[in-house]
Structure 1
Amino acid sequence: MNLRLNRRTTRSTGIAAVAAALLITAGAAGSATASGTWEGKGPREAAALTGTAKLYRPAGDDITFTFDAHLAAKDNTHPENATGTFRFSHYKGDWGGYAVAQVDCLATGGKVAVVTGRIIETDVAQFKGARVGVSVNDLGTHDRLGYSWLTQDPQKGDVPKCQTAPPFEKVKEGTGDFHVLPWILDYPTQ
């Protein structure tokens, strides 16, 4: 009788061990997927905004925005540690200008991103050194974009970090390739 009990116990223990191993493996795979990679480009960052698009303007203005903004996994709770640049330009005929901003904050949620940065290069005097902000809604072929200088005069003070206008502009059809990597905050369980 003890032999049977031991065999049953051994079999039950073996089944339990296999089931536990499978659960641990499944949990690890789920964690790897959650932290995983972004578009197969290595370990997943905490957040990112990349891509280029032109804004829709029926009058023929050439307005382009390009983003390369990243928040490293180690900085997940510090969006002000984001790195990278974004560039924008607006030309029509022989009029226009451009600016390049050094990213100083990046926050994303779902397919929406907000990025701010200081202008480090420009041919528009009033932008030099100002903090500007841009928002993006990554909607595939119908991306949208907003920017702070519609409502904020850079000469009257800085836009706060990670704040800007909502994405009110339409992207010109066929040009939007923005990619927003959603920010996933790890909340303590207790």
Structure 2
Amino acid sequence: MNRRTKIAAVAAALLITAGAANSAVASGDGRGGSREASALTGTAKLYRPAGDDITFSFDAHLAAKDNKDPEAATGTIRFSHYKGGKGGYAVAEVDCLVTGGKVAVVTGVVTETDVDGFRNKRVGVSVHDDGRHDRLGYNWITKEEYKELPPCMSTAPFEKVRSGTGDFHVLPWRLEYPTE
């Protein structure tokens, strides 16, 4: 075998090996286990020209074994809003997570807060993980005349994230569809 043929054979073997390794990592967690079904992680401050200090943090996960049940998601949503020495914070326990592409919708029930009447309310948050231009939307119902917000429901991500603060990471949900 001449030298060029050997080099080509070695290069092809390396490409095949690298491709197989990348496939294994993409389908698993890189440690031999399966990849979680979906996730939303990261922290950002919202852009508000009036000086409000608004922060949202996420650590939400849907295990691979629960791929068909987004309401089995676990984790926390943390957020706070302060301005002029007034405001408050809340921590919600995740009860649903749905992701698609770079967009996530997560809901949770507030378990810790310093805001009267907010405990045990469900909050919904949406995130668009767009690299340098992340966006976020949120909603919750605090008026008694409205019914409770359902799981996995939120608004479109309408708020801008303050430049340099968005580090959201959305792991897209991969549904397995039956074949006939």
Q: TM-score interval w.r.t. the shorter chain? A: 0.7 to 0.9
Distance in 1 between residues matched to 2:28 and 2:103, nearest whole Å:
20
Q: Are 1:173 and 2:163 an aligned pair?
A: yes
Q: CA deviation at 1:29?
A: 6.1
Distance in 2 between residues matched to 1:145 and 1:185, nearest whole Å:
24
Q: Are 1:78 and 2:83 an aligned pair?
A: no
**Structure 1 segments (4+ residues) deviating >4 Å:** 25-31
Q: CA deviation at 1:41?
A: 10
Q: Relative to 1, partners in 2 of residues 1:97 and 1:41: Cα closer, same or farther, differing over 3 Å?
A: farther
Partner of residue 49, structure 2: 58
Q: Relative to 1, partners in 2 of residues 1:143 and 1:26: Cα closer, same or farther, differing over 3 Å?
A: closer
Q: CA deviation at 1:31?
A: 5.9
| Match runs of 1:32-71 below 5 Å | 32-37=24-29, 43-71=34-62
Q: CA deviation at 1:37?
A: 2.5
Q: Unpaired runs of 5+ in structure 1?
A: 1-24
Partner of residue 176, structure 2: 186
Distance in 2 between residues matched to 1:145 and 1:104, nearest whole Å:
19
Q: Choose 1 or 2 for highest CA Rg.
A: 1
Contact 2:118 2:142 in 1 (8 A): no
Q: How many residues align?
A: 163
Partner of residue 93, structure 1: 84
Letter matched to residue 71 of structure 1: L
Contact 1:126 1:154 in 2 (8 A): no
TM-score after normalising by structure 1 = 0.79
Taking every aligned residue pair, what percent have the same amino acid on both sides?
Answer: 71
Q: Relative to 1, partners in 2 of residues 1:125 and 1:91: Cα closer, same or farther, differing over 3 Å?
A: same
Q: Are 1:159 and 2:128 an aligned pair?
A: no
Partner of residue 3, structure 2: none
Q: Give the helix-richer structure, 1 or 2.
A: 1
Q: CA deviation at 1:148?
A: 1.0
TM-score after normalising by structure 2 = 0.83
Q: CA deviation at 1:64?
A: 0.0
Q: Are 1:142 and 2:133 an aligned pair?
A: yes
Partner of residue 126, structure 1: 117
Letter matched to residue 93 of structure 1: G
Q: Unpaired runs of 5+ in structure 2?
A: 1-16
Q: Relative to 1, partners in 2 of residues 1:66 and 1:173: Cα closer, same or farther, differing over 3 Å?
A: same
Letter matched to residue 160 of structure 1: P
Q: CA deviation at 1:36?
A: 2.2
**Secondary structure, aligned partner of 1:80:** helix
Letter matched to residue 160 of structure 2: K
Q: Relative to 1, partners in 2 of residues 1:26 and 1:186: Cα closer, same or farther, differing over 3 Å?
A: farther
